[in-house]
Amino acid sequence: MKHFLLYFTALVLLPFQLLSIEKNAMVEDIINNVNIDSLSHTIKILSGAEPYRAGDTTAIIKTRLFDSDDNLEAANFLMNKLSSYGLDAGLYECGIKCENVIAVQRGSEFPDIYVIIGAHFDSYSIQGGNAPGADDNATGSAVVMEAARLLSEQQTSYTVIYALWDAEESGMIGSGYYARQAKLNGDSVLVVINCDMLGWDGNNGNKMDIHTKNVGVSVRAADLCKELNELYEIGLNARIVNPGISSSDHESFLSRGISAIFLTEDHDVSHSDVNHTGSDLFENLTLDYYLKNAKLAIATISQFATGADSFISSVEDGDTAENSINVYPNPASEYSTIKLYLNESNYVDIEVYDSYGKLISNVYSGYPDAGHQSFNLSGINSFGSGVYYCTVLIGGMVQTKKLVVLR
């Protein structure tokens, strides 16, 4: 991970409520099957502690310095391993001698809406060519690979992108290229989960940070991640940092209005003291702590990918909970309706934003009567496919509901 701070001003702040989620049997099963031996094997290969089979021979990755031949070997190793899980995997040029490794798992319900789990696979050392990069960032890369191993056996609602970014240490070149293309193509990216440096616990405090900023659903995603740690009793002392640091690949997305969170070890007290040196080796990792971080990252992408995150609302006409809000039908194609139950007449303002935080529609502003109220989103027939957010202000309190539009 690069060591500099770069803050930006968010275009719009969307307020979100804390989530209330229940355990999901499939997500729990995935968490229970996260395997430290599988994770360790990937880290050892990437950091040169173990050889790997390349065709009929064996090879050792001695370094992952950007634009080195060994870094390209690492990219090919990762691509082939992703392909072995039955995923559509490939190398995608992102600059001169820069190759992102991307694998795609198509969603069964919303194939045009993406959730991304990513990590940079390149390394750096102040000592030159000797850059094993076990913590920074073979740990994050191994989490992406483990997520692919486990999730590829499941049917996901959304399309999952497994991404290994190149050249993070040289200025987030790989993730920056991908994020620019996603923005230009109008890709509907629900959230990006960035994993960078997850294996060092200098004081055995189990502290880790979830960095985010007020962009799209980023804050809500961070809340979800922290709640999953508690729900599944993973055992981390998780802290949300907002605004978080900008020195890893999540910033490539946040700076372009795409929701993202960044999972990493505690950088205040127990940050690695061998980072960017030839001593960033496998034997210096805190494996029990690392396993917990891996479980949390994989739980979070699984929760999003399988649609178990409760972001999509359902509706019951008889719902009379105080100031309840529902959006139906959802997903929608030609029309949808926001249904409210107001316990008393109050000021209501309803707006719709796209996934980049841009205001798309002013739906209603006024003082409706108490009781059941419906507001038609008739304009959605002009919306493109993607994820939208309906923000509803009721007497100074704001709630946000997600709307998926399919064409």
Instruction: Decide which of 1 and 343 is more confident.
Output: 343
At residue 324 the predicted structure's pLDDT band, cuts being 50, 70 and 90, is low
Pairing of strands 359-366, 57-59: unpaired
CA atoms of 229 and 235, how far apart (whole Å): 7
In this prediction, residue 283 carries a pLDDT of: 96
The upper half-sphere exposure of residue 248, i.e. CA atoms within 13 Å in the direction of its Cβ, equals 31
In this prediction, residue 31 carries a pLDDT of: 98
Pairing of strands 188-195, 397-405: unpaired
Find the DSSP H helices in 47-68.
none
Nearest to 112 by CA among 211, 185, 214: 185
In this prediction, residue 1 carries a pLDDT of: 60
pTM confidence score = 0.76
In this prediction, residue 141 carries a pLDDT of: 98
At residue 323 the predicted structure's pLDDT band, cuts being 50, 70 and 90, is low
In this prediction, residue 3 carries a pLDDT of: 40
Gyration radius from the chain CA atoms: 22
Q: In the predicted model, what is the mean pLDDT of the chain?
A: 86
Spell out the domains of the chain, with CATH numbers in brackets: 25-305 (3.40.630.10), 324-405 (2.60.40.2550)
- Comparing 39-43, 108-112, 265-269, the range with the smallest average pLDDT is 265-269
The pLDDT > 90 percentage for the chain reads: 56
Confirm if 262 and 194 have CB atoms less than 8 A apart.
Answer: yes
Dump pLDDT digits (tens) for 239-272: 999 999 999 999 999 999 888 999 999 977 666 7
CA atoms of 162 and 139, how far apart (whole Å): 15
